[in-house]
Structure 1
């Protein structure tokens, strides 16, 4: 199964890989909308999850920065194989401009948090949601360290949501993690090309 997945990814062009990433985010938002229509009593109850609240936003920002710092330390001290997702992240982020990385990670953070924390965790709880979140990140299932990483991250983001009750805090946190790590990968790949 792993070799078939890696072969499929290898055959996709960078443009096709980006298209599938965007398509996945649209699909996640659609699923959130459909499920949300059944689970929320009104739009007001859904929009109440978004709060422009300084302390919870600060918790989201600081939590995101801590995760980024820990991940960058891990990338520097652990063997590269621990972070090998089949080259998907490197292919995606090294082929984009920094501005495009900001846009795509904002879309990812919004769509994933609306579905996983806003709809699923609000109605089914932290454990169920965190496990579904980890399973949706399919490419990490083949690498024990990345899978453990995404499971722990999902529980942590879910805990921040439980702590703050604010979906905006987790969207910002998720965005900071994906965006800064995406920019880190972009910079690392550019520096590697210049060293050759």
Structure 2
């Protein structure tokens, strides 16, 4: 049996166009798994139980917080897209590639996985340590594909701050998970059906 030689691993920057669909999805799911693992470890180091995030609150106010923020973000995003040139909001085609050819059920799965994994790390762990402002700066910086343009970077920061704020107001991680899921799901469906129309 041949041994695997780590010295032969070569790392190079690739564009989204160089990835086939399977590699793109593998990269997406591996990134989210890593995000989830880091979030859980960070929460454990804080002496907290990550399973407590999934305890449903007694009242249903968190649904209104999550759905309300999602509606505000979607209206604002769709409104601003009418006035901002497409190249000013370009993410390098990543979102188009991720969502453009997916079935609606797969868009929902991707949106749910991303919402849970990212909210555990950012709102569950990082916000607990640094507060919503610094968490939002880190969240915007992590979304590197937007950093070339100030409008999407600013929107990501504002959305992240909103997610942190509704978590504080609702007292549960479920509110930002719901908002994050709805935003990604609706935007993913818009990308998918817009591509179908073309």
Pairwise TM-score range, normalised by the shorter structure: 0.7 to 0.9
Match of 1:38 among 45, 54, 58: 45
State the secondary structure of the residue aligned to 2:15.
helix
Matched, 1:27 2:34: yes
* Equivalent residues in 2 for 1:154-193, closer than 5 Å: 154-192=160-198
Q: What is aligned with 1:134?
A: 140
Question: Contact between 1:49 and 1:165, CA under 8 Å: does it hold in 2?
Answer: no
Gaps of 5+ in 1: none
CA distance in 1, matches of 2:48, 2:85: 49
Runs of 5+ consecutive residues of structure 2 not aligned to the other structure: 1-11
**How far apart, CA to CA, are the structure 2 residues paired with 1:81 and 1:93?**
19
Name the counterpart of 2:101. Answer: 95
Q: Partners of 1:90 and 1:69 in 2: how far apart?
A: 20
Between stretches 76-85 and 107-116, larger displacement belongs to 76-85
Q: Over the residues paired in the alignment, what is the CA RMSD in angstroms? A: 1.9
* Whole-angstrom distance in 2 between the partners of 1:106 and 1:47: 15
Distance in 2 (CA, whole Å) between partners of 1:104 and 1:147 is: 22
CA distance in 1, matches of 2:50, 2:93: 40
8 Å CA contact 1:133–1:154 kept in 2: the answer is: yes
Q: CA deviation at 1:85?
A: 0.5
Q: How many residues align?
A: 187
Deviation of the 1:180 alpha carbon: 0.3
CA–CA separation in structure 2 for the residues paired with 1:139 and 1:43: 29
- Note if contact 1:49-1:167 (Cα within 8 Å) is conserved in structure 2: no
Answer yes or no: is 1:47 the counterpart of 2:53. yes
Taking structure 1 as reference, are residues 115 and 191 closer, same or farther at Cα in structure 2, changes over 3 Å only?
same
Decide which moves more: 66-75 or 166-175.
66-75
Change (3 A) 1:43 1:105: closer
Q: Are the equivalent residues in 2 in contact too, given 1:49–1:118 (CA < 8 A)?
A: no
- TM-score for both structures, normalised by structure 2: 0.87
Q: Measure, in 1, the Cα distance between the counterparts of 2:162 and 2:53.
A: 23
Residue aligning to 1:18: 25
Deviation at 1:50, TM superposition (A): 5.0
CA gap 1:100/1:38 in 2 versus in 1, 3 angstroms:
same
Supply the distance in 2 between the matched residues of 1:93 and 1:76 (Cα, whole angstroms). Answer: 21
| Higher helix proportion | 1
The answer on whether the counterparts of 1:52 and 1:168 sit within 8 Å (CA) in structure 2 is: no
Specify the structure having the higher radius of gyration (Cα): 2
